[in-house]
Amino acid sequence: MFRIIAISCLVLSLSSLKAQQKRLTTIPIEISSNQRFNLRSNFEFTAIALKSKNEIDFKEISFLLKDESIVFHNSPHQLDNSNYFYSTIIHFNESTSELKLMLKNQSKLQIEAILINGEGNYASSLKMRTKQDSNNCQLEGVITQDEWRSGLAEPSYSRSFTDTENLIIHHSAGSNNITDYTLAVRNIYIFHTQENGWSDIGYNYLIAPNGAIYAGRDPADGEQDLVIGAHFCGSNSTTMGVCLLGNYETVDPEQDMLNSLENLLSWKAFKDDLEVLATNSHPLNSNLGVIAGHQDGCNTLCPGINVYEKLDEIRQNVDVQVSTCRGEDKPVIEIEFDTLLSTNLYPNPIRNNFSFNLELDENQQNDIQYIQIFDQRGKYIKWEKLYFRENKIEVLLPNTLTSGIYFLQIVFNSHQQELQRFMIL
């Protein structure tokens, strides 16, 4: 048994030959409060996680890497019927063999360090590859398992498949400062298969901050979006899981990532004829959104507050993309001028940026059922994007609109509606 004891420096030795044969190893550790230790190993690792048989706050544990202090967090993906509690996985851009660990505010802990080595000869171009442009009805540029899993053991098991009713959004809750996203996916694959004991990686898709989309669980001869994963508290049937790489409790998601997420969800909703603004019954939630966060069905903060608060915006944007895919063209309506109300819309008139803002507080934003734009004839105009901000919504319009008078209609779940007039110069 390996043990860290209260000395200024500790060397943990593993057989070099044994390390070369493994992708993951676990080391028992005992540490005391306010002590700093050098954790050294012959096992080169590209990611680290911690586990404990007792429920602890992993934020009490940090480490130094190249003079940067990095704090662990409690994993949002605790396993059912597991004997352990886990921290998040911390990823590195390159392998290391040494960390300086620090514990605060607790007298002593017995934990285990999980060291992962995801290195390999995968194509270096994948490290910064972004999703290719595609229209709303197709999904292109997905990084396949053969590309990102090169050199790792392939999964071999009998796959199961499911029709999809709910699209579940996750975050990995790992590092936000990495740039080798393919290495991070490899680390997660190793953790899921060698530590969790799963047959394969848990998600159907993973999306990097730069917008790159990775095919996750290998469907063999089946369809990528229909293979049953392991991501929703043991109730994975009728779901598709999408994981955003990063910790979105602490930072905002990149716009490239959100764009790829919306494109992926739009493609899937169009393919399977899903109503993305609707809800349906699921064993974990009798009123689960067709697009939902992990926390909507499980006791977790996943996918992080900074993603979860954007889900309404994501649903609205996906709904517009799906309508475009379906070729839907709403009929001309009669504008009733006596329904004009007082929502503050600015700037008005709009000059050259083809966007405007609506002053709506958080309760009003949460109550919105849909937003529509019409021209003077009552012809429906598809807006491009909605951006939900604090106390306002930014509406991005097509830059092909001509000068004239337009109308904004807001319909709320409370059955109220507002109609506001604006002008484009």
C-alpha to C-alpha distance for 90 and 99, rounded to whole angstroms:
12
| Residue 390 or 115, more confident | 115
C-alpha to C-alpha distance for 57 and 87, rounded to whole angstroms:
9
| Residue 60 phi, psi dihedral angles, 5° rounding | -75, -10
In this predicted structure, what is the pLDDT of residue 252?
A: 96
Q: Cα dihedral sign for 93, 95, 96, 102?
A: positive
Both tokens of 143, joined, read 């990084």
Q: List, for residues 200-255, the tens digit of each pLDDT value.
A: 999 999 999 999 999 999 999 999 999 999 999 989 999 999 999 999 999 999 99
- Most confident range, picked from 32-36, 241-245, 270-274, 394-398: 241-245
β-strand 239-244 against 166-171: which pairing, if any? parallel
Q: Cα dihedral sign for 178, 180, 181, 186?
A: negative
Kindly state the average pLDDT of the residues 358-368: 84
Closest CA to 312 of 340, 279, 337: 279
In this predicted structure, what is the pLDDT of residue 134?
A: 52
pLDDT surpassing 50 at residue 343: yes
Give the pLDDT band (50/70/90) at residue 164: very high
In this predicted structure, what is the pLDDT of residue 339?
A: 46
In this predicted structure, what is the pLDDT of residue 18?
A: 34
Name residue 208's amino acid: A
Three-state DSSP class for residue 335: coil
In percent, how much of the chain has pLDDT > 90? Answer: 49
Q: Which residue has the tokens 């530590």?
A: 195
In this predicted structure, what is the pLDDT of residue 128?
A: 55
Give the pLDDT band (50/70/90) at residue 379: confident
**Choice among 57-71, 122-136, 212-226, 238-252 with the minimum mean pLDDT:** 122-136
Kindly state the average pLDDT of the residues 160-180: 94
C-alpha to C-alpha distance for 99 and 318, rounded to whole angstroms:
43
Give the pLDDT band (50/70/90) at residue 10: very low
| Residue 368 or 86, more confident | 86
**Choice among 192-201, 260-269, 335-344 with the minimum mean pLDDT:** 335-344
Closest CA to 166 of 268, 313, 317: 268
Structural domains in the chain, CATH included, are: 16-116 (2.60.120), 124-326 (3.40.80.10), 337-424 (2.60.40.10)
First to last CA, the chain: 75
Q: List, for residues 301-313, the tens digit of each pLDDT value.
A: 999 999 999 999 9
In this predicted structure, what is the pLDDT of residue 340?
A: 47
In this predicted structure, what is the pLDDT of residue 9?
A: 34
Give the pLDDT band (50/70/90) at residue 127: low
pLDDT surpassing 80 at residue 331: no
Where residue 325 falls (left for φ over 0; alpha for ψ -120 to 50; beta otherwise) is alpha
Closest CA to 9 of 40, 34, 30, 45: 40
Q: List, for residues 381-410, the tens digit of each pLDDT value.
A: 878 888 888 888 888 888 888 888 888 888
In this predicted structure, what is the pLDDT of residue 136?
A: 56
| Mean of the per-residue pLDDT values of the chain | 85
Both tokens of 146, joined, read 């053969």
Give the pLDDT band (50/70/90) at residue 14: very low
| Chain Cα centroid distance, residue 305 | 11
Contact between 419 and 341 under an 8 Å Cβ cutoff? The reply is yes
C-alpha to C-alpha distance for 357 and 408, rounded to whole angstroms:
11
Q: How many CB atoms within 10 Å of residue 424?
A: 18
Q: Which residues pair with 32 in a beta bridge?
A: 108
Both tokens of 186, joined, read 């490899």
Kind and range of the H or E run holding 265:
helix 255-272
DSSP character string of 5-29: -SSS-------HHHHHT-SEEEEEE
Please enumerate in sequence order all residues whose Cβ is within 8 A of that of 362, keeping only pairs 6 or more positions apart, or say none: 390, 391
How are strands ordered across the β-sheet holding 355-359?
345-346, 355-359, 392-396, 385-389
In this predicted structure, what is the pLDDT of residue 95?
A: 93
C-alpha to C-alpha distance for 222 and 46, rounded to whole angstroms:
31
DSSP character string of 270-294: HHHT--TT-EEEETTEEEEESEEEG
C-alpha to C-alpha distance for 410 and 375, rounded to whole angstroms:
15
pLDDT surpassing 70 at residue 332: no
Three-state DSSP class for residue 52: strand
In this predicted structure, what is the pLDDT of residue 283?
A: 95
pLDDT surpassing 70 at residue 329: no
Q: How many CB atoms within 10 Å of residue 91?
A: 27
